[in-house]
Amino acid sequence: MFDKIREIFDTEQFSREPRQLYDPIEYTLRLGGKRIRPYLLMSANRMFGGNDEQVRSAAIGIEMFHNFTLLHDDLMDKSPIRRGKPTVYCKWDENTAILSGDTMFALAWQYFLAQPSPRLHEILSCFNQTAIEVCEGQQYDMNFERTDHVAIDDYMMMIRLKTAVLLAGALKIGALYAGAPQSDTEHLYQFGIHLGLAFQLQDDLLDSYGDVTVFGKQTGQDIRDNKKTYLVIKALQTAPADLRDELAALFSSTPADSDAKVARVRQIYDQIDIPAQVNEAIRQEFLQAQSHLDSVRVEQDKKAPLADLLASLSDRKK
Per residue in 196-218, pLDDT (tens digit) is 999 999 999 999 998 776 665 67
pLDDT of residue 34: 85
Query: What is the average pLDDT value for the chain, to the nearest integer?
Result: 93
Give CATH superfamily name and number for 2-313: Farnesyl Diphosphate Synthase (1.10.600.10)
| Cα–Cα distance measured from residue 184 to residue 178, given in angstroms and rounded to the nearest whole number | 12
Structural domain boundaries in the chain: 2-313
The SS3 call for residue 273 is: coil
Residue 183 CA to its chain's centroid (Å): 25
pLDDT of residue 63: 96
| Cα–Cα distance measured from residue 249 to residue 184, given in angstroms and rounded to the nearest whole number | 48
pLDDT higher than threshold 80 for residue 236? yes
Mean pLDDT of 191-199: 97
pLDDT of residue 286: 97
- DSSP string computed for 202-256: HHHHHHHHS-HHHH-S-TTHHHHTT---HHHHHHHHHS-HHHHHHHHHHTT---S
Mean pLDDT of 218-227: 88
| Cα–Cα distance measured from residue 69 to residue 88, given in angstroms and rounded to the nearest whole number | 12
Contacts by 235-242, CB closer than 8 A, 24 or more apart: 235/268, 235/269, 235/272, 235/274, 236/149, 237/152, 238/272, 238/274, 238/277, 239/268, 239/272, 240/272
pLDDT of residue 143: 93
| Cα–Cα distance measured from residue 192 to residue 132, given in angstroms and rounded to the nearest whole number | 17
| Cα–Cα distance measured from residue 255 to residue 252, given in angstroms and rounded to the nearest whole number | 10
**pLDDT single digits (tens) 87-114:** 999 999 999 999 999 999 999 999 999 9
Higher pLDDT, 30 or 235: 235
Going by C-alpha positions, the residue among 130, 119, 279 that lies closest to residue 193 is 130
Strand partners, 81: 86
How would residue 151 be classed by pLDDT, with cut points 50, 70 and 90? very high
Peptide bond before 18: cis, by omega within 30 degrees of 0?
yes
pLDDT of residue 230: 97
182 CB contacts (<8 Å, ≥6 apart)?
none
pLDDT of residue 248: 94
| Cα–Cα distance measured from residue 35 to residue 70, given in angstroms and rounded to the nearest whole number | 13
